[in-house]
């Protein structure tokens, strides 16, 4: 049962990491696109800061979730090999 919980957890964390990775790429591309758009200056910079900030935070969350998920995956393989 412990192996099932470990595998389910690493799969869930990997899925969350992949989702946040997609979000960070999307928001970063939108932020770069907004740089070239002609719009009111103040609103443009608020939008750029929001989009790139969300992209960076999403990227950090995705790296953390993927790292923890992969660590759990490989540590669970070592435990099952010992049994």
pLDDT range class, residue 77, cuts 50, 70, 90: low
Q: What is the mean pLDDT of residues 39-61?
A: 87
CB count within 10 Å of CB 80 equals 11
Q: Are 62 and 17 spatial neighbours (Cβ–Cβ below 8 Å)?
A: yes
More confident residue, 77 or 29: 29
Quick: pLDDT tens for 14-46: 888 888 899 899 988 888 888 888 888 888 888
Above 70 in pLDDT, residue 82?
A: no
Distance, CA of 13 to CA of 82 (rounded, Å): 24
Q: Tell me, what's the pLDDT at 76?
A: 58
Is the pTM value of this prediction over 0.75? no
């Amino acid at each position: 049962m412990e192996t099932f919980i470990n595998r389910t957890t690493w799969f869930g964390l990997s899925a969350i990491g992949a989702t946040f990775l997609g979000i960070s790429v999307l928001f970063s591309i939108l932020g770069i696109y907004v740089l070239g758009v002609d719009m009111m200056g103040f609103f443009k910079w608020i939008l750029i800061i929001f989009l790139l900030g969300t992209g960076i935070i999403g990227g950090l969350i995705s790296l953390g979730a993927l790292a923890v998920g992969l660590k759990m995956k490989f540590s669970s393989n070592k435990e099952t090999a010992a049994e």
